[in-house]
Amino acid sequence: MENDIDVKEVKKTFAGAKRKVVEIAGQIHDIVEDSIWVDYDKLPILSAQIQEMMVEVTNMKRVYPFLK
């Protein structure tokens, strides 16, 4: 039973990390489509945030094979 709780918590954390990556990607998309000439300086920061979150996501996938 305790193991099931751990799996659920891991899946919840994983889903949150994936959601954060998608949110940041959406911000990048909005800048590229709507405000590239004004907000281009935000792109490196957002890109670095995606890279950090993707490290977390890929590490979780490596450690917990049940994640997709």
Q: Look at residue 2 and tell me whether its pLDDT is greater than 90.
A: no
Q: Give mean pLDDT, residues 5-16.
A: 92
Average pLDDT over residues 46-61: 97
pTM of the predicted model as reported, rounded to 2 decimal places: 0.85
Query: What was the pLDDT predicted at 68?
Result: 81
DSSP 23-34: HHHHHHHHIIII
Residue 3 has pLDDT above 80, yes or no: no
* Domain ranges within the chain, ordered by starting residue: 2-63
H-state helical runs in 1-68: 2-30, 36-39, 43-63
